[in-house]
Structure 1
Amino acid sequence: EFSSSESPSCHATKPDMLNVHLVPHTHDDVGWLKTVDQYYYGDRNDIQHAGVQYILDSVVDQLLKNPDRRFIYVETAFFYRWWKRQDSSMKQTVQQLVNEGRLEFVNGGWCMSDEATTHYSAVIDQMTMGLRFLNDTFGVCGRPRVAWHIDPFGHAREHASMFAQMGYDGFFFGRLDYQDRYQRMMQKEQELLWRASDSLTPPMADLFTGILPNGYNPPDGFCWDQSCSDPPIRDDPDLEDYNVDDVVKRFLNISMVYKTNHIIMTMGSDFQYENANLWYKNLDKLIHYVNAQQDLGSRVNVLYSTPSCYLQELHRANLTWALKTDDFFPYADDAHDFWTGYFSSRPALKRYERLSNSNLQTCNQLEVLGGPTSTNGPFGKGDSQTMKKAMAVAQHHDAVSGTEKQHVANDYARRLATGWQHCQVLVSNGLAVLSGSTAQRFYCDYLNISVCPLTESSKKFSVNVYNPLGRPVTWPVRLPVNGTAYAVSDAAGTSVDCQVLPLSKDTHNVRRSRGFAVNELVFEVQAPPLGFSTYSVSLLQDGPLAASTQPRTPTAIQNKFLKVTFDPDTGLLSSFSNLETTQTIKLTQNFYWYNASDGNNSESIQPSGAYIFRPNSSTPFLISSTTSVVQEVRQWFSPWVSQVVRLYAHSRTLELEWTVGPLPIHDDLGKEVITRIDTSIESSEIFYTDSNGREVLQRKKDFRPTWHLKQSEPIAGNYYPINSRAYIKDDVDQLTVVTDRSQGGSSIHNGSLEIMLHRRLLYDDVRGVAEPLNETSAIFPEGLVVRGRLLLSLDRPASAADKHRPLAQEMVLQPLLTFTDGDLHPDFSGLQAALPPAVHLLTLTQWDAQSVLLRLEHQFQSWESDVNSKPVTVNLQKLFSSLEVLGVSELNLSANQWKDEMKRFEWTPQNGTGHPLPLKHCWSYYGPYKARCWTLQ
């Protein structure tokens, strides 16, 4: 008799022996050295020999030859492609293998996502896509029970929390800091209970976590793939080189330090099993000959197994497990080899991925709000699936991470661009339905460098501002224009304040020949929740702007909320004041660069590269500054670093728009550029970073919460991923920095925050990618130029989260601007009223023809706000303005199980008792069932 989480397909184990669970597997990167297509087909084997279609062909063939054999498969993006090409007979065969537990899916997301540079909303989407395909194709037997992240370079607490809420029984990974691993081996704590949230009542976010003994490779000497050079098992005693005795002896001498009489052993690696016969023939022999030793007194039992079968045995052992509440960052595999560079590698791709996520959510929402016409309307056939797949692939741990070859990074960007083209048709159709206008819509994808053909040439146009958030937003709009005076009005005809500013020299330089505007039109817009507002813009005066006065060093800029002052000698920021709370701190912000190690060093030959950050000194080089002013403050630090400091009229945050590049390499030095904010806040070498954009964790310089750190890299060893925000604080003041993409950062000095913006390196860091991170493009052959934004807020610590959490969501899900030539005046909101501040509308997407998938989340941690951390009730029947809720039914976070059917293994932490409680947190709703009100906690 088996519980709901147990599998009857697992081979029997022997309670009085050491059971070695052999797990045949392949690790198939969804792009890395080759593109996704090249990996699937086996193209470009001159780069790397790998062909996923042949792996699946071969594995299925070999599983059929021996019912004892097992195999696990992970990356649904590849399996989906393979499955589509199979005939009905093969599909029936595979279905039988899955039903019998001989082929088991683990993890099951579209890809194995990165954990440092991904946003939780995009991770949930890609997991949902993969798991839905497995559900629809194989039913309950295809549902993965184990999360499997064997390759990502460090592990985020929020990922563990998500996996728990998705119903996984356990989580296995391969990489953790070398010092941490050694200590865990000594203490037999390589298997533990991860309490992955400080806000959810245990065991809601508790996840059993296992650290694999060999990363994800087989033990030395036991690799039998065509890519391996280990000798096969030669078991004919009449032939030379008979080696069974030696193989058995070496196998029995493998050292494993675990808590139970069960050991997991990964038998496979990158793109292995293309000729699965090699592996299985030798594994069959290994099992036979090792187990034969039991007759001679051996206490070792070897069996084919899977991660879920192994986990089932650990659960049956009914032990207590060490508890962990922090995360596994940063990751180092040696004293000078900290994998903290990829937190910032390929900053342009990181920003494009984040922007694409925002665009996808808008696309999903308008597919629902616009109804069937949105996918087949006046502008043609559009779809959201192309973008969903492109975004899912981009979450891979060699995609948004920036650790792929350049041609693969280009392919990821191309896929996102293609996905957005498909979504643009859908968005145009959806907006046409909701606005009642079929006027052609234009999209300006290069507004960050002031390029938009319509606004540059038209004398009258309309701006539609779609807001994907569940609450109203105020948003600054900056449009490239050639006139000197404009009138802007909202849908009611009310005039809106606007200003025309000359385009900066740096923007001219960065856009090159892609636009011809000489000015920027600036105004603030307001957009309703889950809806749009429309603004009309008319040219009043053409011709050049009046010549600006002589640039001067500003002393201060302010609005009714904030004031910042500048040092009259250096032109740098010197103080930051919140006028509402009467707070003022000293604040200096500047740019620096670390000289990247080239590997020619007495301590270590490790250079900086795509993965690894290793500056050759602890002191960065200062980039000096000069300043000019036009209203906003434009700072010029060098020919390759500039910044604009902006304070909009109604904003409670200060904007820093930075432009960095091309990074000069004529001096043969790789450069890693940071901005550093030094303040008078007494932060005591403690700072805070978010985990995948959701919960916040405390960081302390040169410290790890669960083990004693011997620090060997004082800069790189203190870098952590910042996905959307970081802050420092003392008893009185909190300075929060919100980022527009994933970046690495730290607090090396008391009262200081530094964020890495751009990296250009001249050496490969010998972690497999085999090329330096030296980005150029056709437009920037001399080196990539990157532009981004940081938002700074100053608040009292007790109320800071009330501001920075919604602000971070605005940066992640920013309004989408579309343009029409001429005049247009509609407004629309998809909600009857704005959601409460604590509630975030995470997902609204079409599920099938009759139902939609809705996710609402409480976005505040239990401790961070006196007002917004409390439970909130939402009435779903009164949620939407244009949709009627006929009924709801609750699912788990990944929408692949009914919520009331989700049962997970219960685990007991050391010095504590497990308390099984129903899961709450992020939910998925889809109908048609009876409507209810839900209390979010």
Structure 2
Amino acid sequence: MNICRHCFSCDSSRVRCTVCVHSVFVCVQSCHATKPNMLNVHLVPHTHDDVGWLKTVDQYYYGDRNNIQHAGVQYILDSVVDQLLKNPDRRFIYVETAFFYRWWKQQSSSMQQAVKQLVNEGRLEFVNGGWCMSDEATTHYSAVIDQMTIGLRFLNETFGPCGRPRVAWHIDPFGHAREHASMFAQMGFDGFFFGRLDYQDRAHRMMEKEQELLWRASDSLTPPVADLFTGILPNGYNPPEGFCWDQLCSDPPIRDDPDLEDYNVDDVVARFLLIANSQSLVYKTNHIIMTMGSDFQYENANLWYKNLDKLIHYVNAQQTNGSRVNVLYSTPSCYLQELHRANLTWSLKTDDFFPYADDAHDFWTGYFTSRPALKRYERISNSNLQTCNQLEVLGGPTSRKGPFGKGDSQTMKKAMAVAQHHDAVSGTEKQHVANDYARRLANGWQHCKVLVSNSLAALSGLSAERIYCDNLNISVCPLTESSKKFSVNVYNPLARPVTWPIRLPVNGTAYSVSDAKGKPVDCLVVPVSEVTHGVRRRRGFAVNELVFQVQAPPLGYSTYTVSLIQGGPPPASAQPRGPTMIQNKFLQVTFDPDTGLLSGLSNLETKQSIKLTQNFYWYNASDGNNAGSRQPSGAYIFRPNSSTPFIISRTAKTQTILTSVVQEVRQWFAPWVSQVVRLYADSRALELEWTVGPLPIDDSLGKEVITRLDTSIKTSGYFYTDSNGREMLQRKKDFRPTWNLKQSEPIAGNYYPINSRAYIKDDVDQLTVVTDRSQGGGSIQNGSLEIMLHRRLLYDDFRGVGEPLNETSHIFPEGLVVRGRLLLTLDPPQTAADTHRPLAEETVLQPLLTFIDGDLKPNTQLEFSGLLAPLPPAVHLLTLSQWDEDSVLLRLEHQFQSWESKVNSEPVTVNLQKLFSTLEVLGVAELNLSANQWKDEMKRFDWTPEKEKPLLKTYEDPATWEVTLRPMEIRTFLLKVNLR
């Protein structure tokens, strides 16, 4: 059965839908002919347009503030299209859909038609095609999939199959994640090209002719599902030296009038032939690629094309004199096609490309943690966006236009998409640009709040004003601080029920809490800590916090009613004494009574026990005056001037609160470092809530603050980190799996990105740390795991940003304060994933709280679930979002690797018709991961690895409405639905 992408009708054909009469244009074969017995040099004209970096997105597009950087994307696209129309031989590739979308909307219909013709003829080729070129170290896979989907959908709907990118293109990110390669493969890309890899790795690959390889990007998905051909570009993404012809370049143009004294064609041709032949020595075929362009180039495309036309003409003219070099305009997909035709075997890679260093003391591992507040805000925004998307579907059309006005999710989607850029969530932008990213996220959330309020009003039958408290992490919520009675709506975006702790700022001393069924909930009031009083800077005035635990149904909400008890008992008091132990029914945590520090952790269910000490340290950031290198620490680069960090304090001042709901040990290490060790009654995880900042710099020393967990676990130098929040990868100190490392930075050279969790283990014990944002970390000593929390630096690291990473704000002019959480679990290695997978999932997608003041109206629906039943533990509902008026996009994923769990690493079957409580599923069609191609029509090149691994077990196709998910599989569906 064929289903039309445009009208979602099943009455269609491959050529023309008989319902909406949409015809499918057949793309013209556009690659220039190559010569089999020659060295074919593929020239790829391109521009690299950062979606924010030194200037904001808007400033880059319009060409504003050129005193910072001369760049204007709208003029680039104007100029390139003009030059392509003048000569059909020319080619150009474009990457960043966020910019192209803007430009396209401003064009006349005649210009749009001309551009469509260029695309149909392959003269303008889109590569990558996401809203931006995402970072690979600090992004979460769910946000990456979303930003790729929004960009590729626009290209698909605007240009059809001819606009569908065939090549992933990440020429600028600072290291490359295995999960990105896996996602790109599942999005249907034939290949992946990038520009940056470790200088030692590059030298090895050049020697072995392994700069083009086959990346096997999953140990769970059956090959070749996650296999991706990967090419490393020869000059990063710049042209060969001496061949840059942009208006900001200084290389001489080709002067081809023989009557002129400065005629230089012979010199240009000779230099080019030398470069081409040298490059061919380190690649495997008789085809090589050269990137002809760079950052924001082609604003005057005539400069580039006039010289490239001449270069091609004069170099190829040498073939009559015996030259074996053939130069042509090309694109990445044309180049990849020739490599595929070569029918060779390719080296196989199964790890990733982290960490990245461009010289012996220049490890780009600082940005794993740079701008930790922005990294956290991005992660919260992702959670809010998923809730917004879900409630837009579950609430129906009323969610977009209801009692609270017009709401939309698109503004938030685009803001989140921009935030995935490799100079956004990475923290490597100028301060005013970081502020702009945050402003966009805040604006997007304002639009989503209207949608969420409309949807909850429709589902609950209550149109009262909903209050959102976005600063609960610092105990600020004006409603709960002043109200004597209010309700809390807890929306759970996960497809399984969750139990979640709630902490609300209040000024009363006693409250009663009842659930949606009217049953009382155990609650208590504790005093707000002095640290929190200081951090909120008079933005709130609550003296206490009301603490209780809530339960919320899958993809739904539950409502809790809170009432002040007049003349109630006093709040629980904080005892100024050093504790020896806190525990609940799952965990026991011990402390050293002399130092106030953690000393041990036990799992009471499994009867495991480890020694565990935790403290805070700081590395003195290099100022560039170290022996052997002038490289300082900066936004990108982490370079401590010593391998031994400074301990902040060997003891902690403590306060203890012991109650039936929560037990807390409040630790104070210094005026700028504190922590709460917290254990809730029903939690299998120990919470470490850290508060760090303002980092003192009155000693003129930049500081990189870490927390270190030292344990009795025997790790033998191994530890494990996640890849973009999904599959876990093994790491080993001072080791790289595919090349012999000469370690020159014993700390920075052993740091890796931790996107959602990391762990250390031996045969008996596994300690897992779940993070609430992307951070950098490593295992420098056996049995130890350290995580960098905050950075404040006094020097730029000479990688282009041009300012030190020294964050302040109007609230914290003396330096930024950052607060976050680490969650610790202790389990046997064989079952640890059963705990840390759902815990990480809960941390990424947290319940959304909304508040209503006073009494609720009778007949208000206090509880709701969008699912008929919870999904199995192995299955995660990754995406539920409105696609068009009567269809929704659904992604289901198996969230366990094939080896992780005896219980949860098995295939799981889900019935799509029996999934939703408010939606009747009328039709279903499966798409690829990025939702820009039907799954059964997705054809990719087959590649042959040098060392083939045996295929994993395969399974039978499911029945019509039942879909089976295998370990680490994500399946994407377009559902035609009716509201029930």
Over 3 Å counting, the alpha-carbon distance change for 1:213 and 1:546 in structure 2 is closer
Q: 1:820 aligned to 840, 852, 855, which one?
A: 852
Q: Summarize the alignment of residues 252-267 of structure 1 with structure 2, pairs less than 5 Å apart.
A: 252-254=273-275, 255-256=278-279, 257-267=282-292
Over 3 Å counting, the alpha-carbon distance change for 1:57 and 1:158 in structure 2 is same
Describe the superposition over 1:183-239 as per-residue Cα deviations: whole angstroms up to 9, x where unpaired: 000000000000000001110000000000000000000000001000000000111
Contact 1:7-1:309 within 8 A present in 2 as well = no
The aligned residue for residue 762 of structure 1 is: 794
Over 3 Å counting, the alpha-carbon distance change for 1:463 and 1:704 in structure 2 is same
Give secondary structure in 2 for the equivalent of 1:885. strand
Over 3 Å counting, the alpha-carbon distance change for 1:576 and 1:76 in structure 2 is same
The aligned residue for residue 368 of structure 2 is: 343
The aligned residue for residue 933 of structure 1 is: none
Q: 1:24 aligned to 24, 36, 45, which one?
A: 45
Contact 1:378-1:429 within 8 A present in 2 as well = yes
Give secondary structure in 1 for the equivalent of 2:843. helix
- Please state how far the C-alpha of 1:602 moved relative to its aligned partner: 1.3
Q: Counterparts of 1:165 and 1:6 in 2: how far apart (Å)?
A: 23
Contact 2:26-2:162 within 8 A present in 1 as well = no
Give secondary structure in 2 for the equivalent of 1:668. coil
Q: 1:44 aligned to 48, 53, 65, which one?
A: 65
The aligned residue for residue 863 of structure 1 is: 899
The aligned residue for residue 922 of structure 1 is: 970
Contact 1:235-1:242 within 8 A present in 2 as well = yes
Give secondary structure in 2 for the equivalent of 1:887. strand
Contact 1:889-1:929 within 8 A present in 2 as well = no
The aligned residue for residue 833 of structure 2 is: 801
Over 3 Å counting, the alpha-carbon distance change for 1:236 and 1:727 in structure 2 is same
**Equivalent position amino acid for 2:942 in 1:** E
Give secondary structure in 1 for the equivalent of 2:86. coil
The aligned residue for residue 428 of structure 1 is: 453
The aligned residue for residue 630 of structure 1 is: 657
Q: Summarize the alignment of residues 72-151 of structure 1 with structure 2, pairs less than 5 Å apart.
A: 72-151=93-172
Residue 183, structure 1, aligned to residue 215, structure 2: no
Percent identity of equivalent pairs: 85
- Please state how far the C-alpha of 1:541 moved relative to its aligned partner: 3.2
- Please state how far the C-alpha of 1:922 moved relative to its aligned partner: 1.1
Aligned length: 927
The aligned residue for residue 838 of structure 1 is: 874
Moved more, 37-46 or 549-558: 549-558
Q: Counterparts of 1:512 and 1:76 in 2: how far apart (Å)?
A: 41
Q: Counterparts of 2:790 and 2:951 in 1: how far apart (Å)?
A: 46
Describe the superposition over 1:744-785 as per-residue Cα deviations: whole angstroms up to 9, x where unpaired: 000001110000000000000000000000000000000000
Residue 491, structure 1, aligned to residue 522, structure 2: no
Residue 386, structure 1, aligned to residue 401, structure 2: no
The aligned residue for residue 7 of structure 2 is: none
Contact 1:583-1:733 within 8 A present in 2 as well = yes
Q: Counterparts of 1:5 and 1:473 in 2: how far apart (Å)?
A: 49
Contact 1:483-1:544 within 8 A present in 2 as well = no
Residue 242, structure 1, aligned to residue 263, structure 2: yes
**Equivalent position amino acid for 2:270 in 1:** K
Give secondary structure in 2 for the equivalent of 1:682. coil
Q: Counterparts of 1:723 and 1:863 in 2: how far apart (Å)?
A: 21
The aligned residue for residue 672 of structure 2 is: 640
**Equivalent position amino acid for 1:693 in 2:** G
Residue 655, structure 1, aligned to residue 682, structure 2: no
Give secondary structure in 2 for the equivalent of 1:817. strand
Give secondary structure in 2 for the equivalent of 1:209. strand
Give secondary structure in 2 for the equivalent of 1:253. helix
Q: 1:873 aligned to 890, 894, 909, which one?
A: 909
Moved more, 883-892 or 536-545: 536-545
The aligned residue for residue 752 of structure 1 is: 784
Describe the superposition over 1:827-855 as per-residue Cα deviations: whole angstroms up to 9, x where unpaired: 00000110000000000000000100000
- Please state how far the C-alpha of 1:71 moved relative to its aligned partner: 0.1
Describe the superposition over 1:863-905 as per-residue Cα deviations: whole angstroms up to 9, x where unpaired: 0101100000000111111111111100000000000000000
The aligned residue for residue 886 of structure 1 is: 922
Give secondary structure in 1 for the equivalent of 2:381. helix
The aligned residue for residue 270 of structure 1 is: 295
Q: Counterparts of 2:750 and 2:453 in 1: how far apart (Å)?
A: 46
Residue 534, structure 1, aligned to residue 567, structure 2: no
Q: Counterparts of 1:121 and 1:546 in 2: how far apart (Å)?
A: 41
Describe the superposition over 1:299-341 as per-residue Cα deviations: whole angstroms up to 9, x where unpaired: 0000000000000000000000000000000000000000000
**Equivalent position amino acid for 2:642 in 1:** S
**Equivalent position amino acid for 1:159 in 2:** H
- Please state how far the C-alpha of 1:547 moved relative to its aligned partner: 9.1
Residue 478, structure 1, aligned to residue 503, structure 2: yes
The aligned residue for residue 620 of structure 1 is: 645
Contact 1:594-1:619 within 8 A present in 2 as well = yes
Q: Counterparts of 1:814 and 1:584 in 2: how far apart (Å)?
A: 30
Q: Summarize the alignment of residues 779-794 of structure 1 with structure 2, pairs less than 5 Å apart.
A: 779-794=811-826
Q: 1:697 aligned to 729, 742, 752, which one?
A: 729
Contact 1:908-1:914 within 8 A present in 2 as well = no
**Equivalent position amino acid for 2:840 in 1:** A
Q: Counterparts of 1:550 and 1:443 in 2: how far apart (Å)?
A: 33
Q: Counterparts of 1:307 and 1:465 in 2: how far apart (Å)?
A: 48
Describe the superposition over 1:84-109 as per-residue Cα deviations: whole angstroms up to 9, x where unpaired: 00000000000000000000000000
The aligned residue for residue 934 of structure 1 is: none
Output the aligned Cα RMSD.
1.6
Q: Counterparts of 1:834 and 1:567 in 2: how far apart (Å)?
A: 43
**Equivalent position amino acid for 2:970 in 1:** C
Over 3 Å counting, the alpha-carbon distance change for 1:119 and 1:873 in structure 2 is same
Q: 1:59 aligned to 80, 86, 91, which one?
A: 80
Q: Counterparts of 1:928 and 1:748 in 2: how far apart (Å)?
A: 52
The aligned residue for residue 580 of structure 2 is: 555
Describe the superposition over 1:648-669 as per-residue Cα deviations: whole angstroms up to 9, x where unpaired: 0000100000000000000000
- Please state how far the C-alpha of 1:924 moved relative to its aligned partner: 1.3
Q: Counterparts of 2:868 and 2:719 in 1: how far apart (Å)?
A: 39
Q: 1:574 aligned to 599, 605, 619, which one?
A: 599
Over 3 Å counting, the alpha-carbon distance change for 1:913 and 1:725 in structure 2 is closer
Q: Counterparts of 1:722 and 1:6 in 2: how far apart (Å)?
A: 42
- Please state how far the C-alpha of 1:617 moved relative to its aligned partner: 0.4
Unaligned runs of 5+ in 1: 931-937
Q: Counterparts of 1:36 and 1:664 in 2: how far apart (Å)?
A: 32
Over 3 Å counting, the alpha-carbon distance change for 1:166 and 1:542 in structure 2 is farther
- Please state how far the C-alpha of 1:915 moved relative to its aligned partner: 7.8
Give secondary structure in 1 for the equivalent of 2:563. strand
Q: Counterparts of 1:596 and 1:474 in 2: how far apart (Å)?
A: 41
Q: Counterparts of 1:509 and 1:545 in 2: how far apart (Å)?
A: 23
**Equivalent position amino acid for 1:191 in 2:** E
Contact 2:210-2:283 within 8 A present in 1 as well = yes
The aligned residue for residue 21 of structure 2 is: none
Q: 1:596 aligned to 621, 632, 656, which one?
A: 621
- Please state how far the C-alpha of 1:489 moved relative to its aligned partner: 0.5
Contact 1:5-1:905 within 8 A present in 2 as well = no
**Equivalent position amino acid for 1:153 in 2:** F
The aligned residue for residue 369 of structure 1 is: 394
Give secondary structure in 2 for the equivalent of 1:366. helix
What's the TM-score once normalised by structure 1's chain length? 0.98
Unaligned runs of 5+ in 2: 1-24, 659-663, 958-964
Q: Counterparts of 1:915 and 1:751 in 2: how far apart (Å)?
A: 35
The aligned residue for residue 312 of structure 2 is: 287
- Please state how far the C-alpha of 1:367 moved relative to its aligned partner: 0.2
Residue 718, structure 1, aligned to residue 718, structure 2: no
- Please state how far the C-alpha of 1:721 moved relative to its aligned partner: 0.2
Give secondary structure in 2 for the equivalent of 1:926. strand
Q: Counterparts of 2:500 and 2:297 in 1: how far apart (Å)?
A: 50
Q: Counterparts of 2:938 and 2:477 in 1: how far apart (Å)?
A: 50
Residue 356, structure 1, aligned to residue 372, structure 2: no
Contact 2:767-2:826 within 8 A present in 1 as well = yes
Q: Counterparts of 1:643 and 1:240 in 2: how far apart (Å)?
A: 74
Q: 1:743 aligned to 762, 775, 789, which one?
A: 775
Over 3 Å counting, the alpha-carbon distance change for 1:173 and 1:546 in structure 2 is closer
